[in-house]
Amino acid sequence: MGTTESALIVSAKAAAARKASRSLIAAGDEERTRVLLAIADALLANSERILTENGIDMFRAKSSGMAQSMQDRLLLTEQRIADMAGGLRQVAALPNPLGRTINERTLPNGLQLTQRSVPFGVVGMVYEARPNVTVDAAAILVKSGNAALLRGSSSAEASNEVLVAIMRETLAQSSISEDAIQIIPSDDRSTVNALLHARGEVDLVIPRGSASLIRMVVDEATVPTIETGAGVCHVYVDVDADLEKALPILINSKTHRPSVCNAAETLLVHEAVAEKFLPVAMKALVEAGVILHVDARASEIAGDLGIGAELATNESWSTEYNALEMNIAVVSDVVAAADHIQNFGTNHTEAIVTENQATADTFIALSDSAAIMINASTRFTDGEQMGFGAEIGISNQKLHARGPMGLEQMTTTTWIVRGNGQIR
């Protein structure tokens, strides 16, 4: 497929999406909600069909030697399909994000100003081998009145196509155009470039995936983007930590699902509790299959325990492993922990374990991150866990949206000015 052909395909789909977005608004929130519930039922009813197509993708992934962490993201199971359906129902149950009054006031000249939430219009998604993103993104965009152009990776082609087909079949039985959810072909990289350069036809593009994918989208797009971010997340265990809380928080943050962006990549431990906490923590991590990369002090403790660990490098501290690997460093205090995070983190999620409120407040003040956890796992930076239903991504930029992006973040605003004959 050539560049010109890809541009024509994306342009045609964007035009159809623009028209479909009007049907989303005309349908109203009640119909949009009903459709999402119907899609949830359709996914469950078509589980076998979905698993068959996902099996094709998994066979190709294994044959090509895809990394195990990426295979985990690609894999669909009965439970994961049920989770997608559950996410749809959660989004459906949320309040209508459109037509909210953000601000209103009357000027001295009598003009009445109202700022209201409205949809963006046509939103493109560029993402990697995660079929659940296909459903999560479609759900949030439909509920918020936006038409979706979904460009997943070729490694998930069969899975994404069947998921979109099921959603479009459901839309076809409603007053909403099935073109409100469309898939962009993933068999040629030129379709990504066409989507990123469809300025005036596509209102917004959101990347979701690896740091390299996100950089590519942000650097190359002429369409406005919301930058989701890589997750080099940290857990800091303070001198005043309850160590019985700290261990399960650490293990959950690293091992619950290591392939996702809110998994912790580095453990920082206050030097005053390192001798007590690290032997227990290292043993638990190794028993969970975690490969350790450590600083000099942690290396001494690992050696005393007979635990193999590599010395960490600057590259180690900056790496989002997406796997059962973790860095460990001993620091002098909360400020040193915050300095380490500032040097090597990605402003995604940071956690502190401490019973000292003043120390927690210092950590909050010094952490320039989208989410900060106090005595809780980093895994809670998640749209569903935070009560947003599914999420379209986690933004670590500072413009428009930050943190898990749900319905509210998929709206913009318009000003309505009511007068009675005023002229300027």
Closest CA to 231 of 84, 378, 72, 13: 378
Asked if residue 153 lies in contact with residue 127, where contact means CB atoms within 8 angstroms, the answer is yes
Strand 112-119: give its sheet, edge to edge.
101-106, 112-119, 411-418
pLDDT computed for residue 21 by the predictor:
96
CB < 8 Å & 24+ apart, contacts of 101-104: 102/413
Ramachandran assignment for 335, one of left (phi > 0), alpha (psi -120 to 50 degrees), beta (any other):
alpha
pLDDT score at 226:
85
Q: What is the DSSP string of 21-63?
A: HHHHHHHHHHHHHHHHHHHHHHHHHTHHHHHHHHHHHHHHHHH
Contact (Cβ atoms closer than 8 angstroms) between residue 349 and residue 381:
yes
SS3 of the chain: helix, strand, coil, percent, to 5: 50, 20, 30
Instruction: Give the side-chain half-sphere CA count within 13 A for 399.
Output: 4
Tens of pLDDT, residue by residue, the chain (424 residues): 678 899 999 999 999 999 999 999 999 999 999 999 999 999 999 999 999 999 999 999 999 999 887 898 899 999 999 999 999 999 999 999 999 999 999 999 999 999 999 999 999 999 988 899 999 999 999 999 999 999 999 999 999 999 999 999 999 999 999 999 999 999 888 999 999 999 999 999 999 887 788 889 889 999 999 877 678 999 999 999 999 999 999 999 999 989 888 999 999 999 999 999 999 999 999 999 999 999 999 999 999 999 989 999 999 999 999 899 999 999 999 999 999 999 999 889 999 999 999 999 999 999 988 899 999 999 998 877 887 666 777 787 767 777 778 888 899 999 999 999 998 9
Give pLDDT, residue 76. Answer: 97
Q: What domains can you pick out in the chain, each with its CATH number?
A: 3-228 (3.40.605.10), 233-380 (3.40.309.10)
Given this model, what pLDDT does residue 389 score? 65
Among 244, 270, 266, residue whose Cα is nearest residue 253:
266
Which pLDDT does position 368 carry in this prediction?
87
Which are the contacts of 309, defined by CB distance < 8 A and separation ≥ 6?
282, 292, 293, 294, 298, 299, 302, 328
Single-letter amino acid, residue 182: Q
Q: How many other CB atoms are there within 10 angstroms of residue 392's CB atom?
A: 31
For residue 234 the two structure tokens come to 């940290």
d(CA 105, CA 119): 22
The residue written with tokens 């995660």 in the block is 130
Q: What local confidence, expressed as pLDDT, does residue 111 receive?
A: 96
